Amino acid sequence: MRDLPRLHEISLVLIRHGLGDLVRRLGVASLLERAGEILHWGQVTHSAQLEPQQRLRLALEELGPTFIKLGQMLSLREDLLPPSWTTELARLRSNAAPVPFEHILQVIERSLGTPHAQAFVDLEREPTGSASIAQVHRARLHDGRAVVLKVRRPGIEAKVEADLRLLSHLAQFVEKEVPEVRRYQPVHIVEEFRRSTMRELDLATEAHNIERFERNFRGEPHVLIPHVFPQWTSEVMNVQEHIDGISAEDPAAVERAGLDLKLLAERGVDNVLKMILEDGFFQADPHPGNVIYLPGNRIAMIDFGMTGRLSLGRRNQIMNLLAGITRRDSEPMVDVLLDWAGAEAVDEEGLAADVDELVADYGDLPVKDMRIGELIGRITAMLRTHGIVLPSDLTLMFKALITLEGSGRKYDPEFVLADRLKPYVERALAARYAPAELGRRGGAGIGQFLDLMRAMPRDLARLLKDARRGRLRMDVDLKRLDIFVGKLDRTINRITIGIMTASVVIGSSIVMTVTSGPQVFGIPIFTVLGSFGYLLAFVNSVWVVLSIWRTRSH
């Protein structure tokens, strides 16, 4: 196993932080020991005295970028983890010590295929930012324009890919061997995490994201998206326009510049809501560090490595949830949550009761008193209670909304996200029933129906051909099949005994009509046999009735 040394390293880090139990329970210890690797169980640091969630955070920080990002992703999953764990994992940071400039320069020149001086002048040695995947350096083009170079850390890809392989193997093992975890779909969660991380590693993907945001905000005079220079962009580097302004992390500087804090908060929120609810493509981490304020109360957004996508169907589900609360109608909300549950068995009555309680708490609440972060917390807690896993594309959206609400209130204490959200919901719901939209959906439905009609003769011919060749097969996967089979078995037994009882009654009646033949104590033998048959039929009838009564009472 090529990743065995890394698995050994991970295990030692977990043991040092008092998480050796986890190494044993996951079966990693026995695997390493069979491979001849030695685990030092006694090398436990002082962190072993801390709470389990604190120990896990420290271990993830030591394990590097992949595990830090995994922890950050899990910090968003309040549908899977209790708040004490998500709060602790949210403290994870992706900051990292800078890579020496000489190593970064090698990456830049390999990407360009030429000496850097042919493209850039005044390339700064000191990075303006250094994170776990990339670091940023300023430079100028030969025409004088200021740019920033985002460069991937050398060697990071191989290490991340090895960690992702190990996580995939681990998720498969856990899903197979730990039944109580299976419903949370660890394989699916790790696969989503793998795709997201690989997208972040490819800096050309971020450049494409920026170009898409640029198109989406074209014509918006108060929004600036940095221009990307595709001629110098590759998977290890992208080059963007440098934007000079005031960071949203510094409200005092914003105020000194004479900018309108309240207007900036409203515009910033509207930008993100447009991305989420109208475009279905959004910056997943809209914290103040990724926002720059410019003269004229304009807003620039930077860092598009992490993005979220929402299909039209998913956006409609969100609208149904929000509309259900504002209209005090819990039924569409329950339908959405059951759709998220998929094939998993859910206590529908219990879920409906919890949704009714949520609607009662928030339905009559004035918009100015509604806190979206609290509402999201209630929804995710309800999902966790009922064992429903939040769709992965919604975790980033929920994170963006919570970050947005906090940022808005930082600039305007009276800011209410629900107030800004309401017009978007109303417009979206009205648009569903606009004549143009109804016509579009009707046309799409007719098109699908015609496609189905065209395909039906061919599909039916194939079905009949398979049936003639004896190759027709039907796979049926029934949940709790053993219970179903048990009930069916008992039902068949009752029917069988009922038929036998009826046969005995009929047979006994026929036998008792015969008066000739031998006698027992002066009674014809056939009368005795018939009476015995009636008695047996009576006992069988009583057994069937009692069996049915017991089943109904249970």
> From CA 511, how far away is CA 530, in angstroms rounded?
6
> From CA 357, how far away is CA 367, in angstroms rounded?
18
Q: Is 297 exposed, middle or buried (0-12, 13-18, 19+ CB in 10 A)?
A: middle
Catalytic machinery residues = 285
Task: Show the DSSP H helices in 241-347 as ranges.
Answer: 251-256, 261-273, 312-326, 331-341
Counting Cα atoms < 13 Å in the Cβ hemisphere of 197 gives 29
Coil vs helix vs strand at 547: helix
By DSSP bridging, strand 146-152 and strand 237-241 are antiparallel
> From CA 316, how far away is CA 437, in angstroms rounded?
14
> From CA 243, how far away is CA 212, in angstroms rounded?
18
Q: What are phi and psi of 2, to 5 degrees?
A: -65, -25
Task: Please report, for residues 1, 33, 40, 285, the alpha-carbon distance to residue 5 in angstroms, rounded to integers and kept in the order given.
Answer: 9, 12, 15, 34
Amino acid, res. 357 = E
> From CA 285, how far away is CA 395, in angstroms rounded?
11
> From CA 407, how far away is CA 154, in angstroms rounded?
34
> From CA 389, how far away is CA 383, in angstroms rounded?
7
Q: What are phi and psi of 412, to 5 degrees?
A: -140, 105
In sign, the C-alpha dihedral spanning 519, 525, 526, 532 is positive
> From CA 258, how far away is CA 273, in angstroms rounded?
26
> From CA 418, how far away is CA 426, in angstroms rounded?
12
> From CA 24, how far away is CA 218, in angstroms rounded?
55
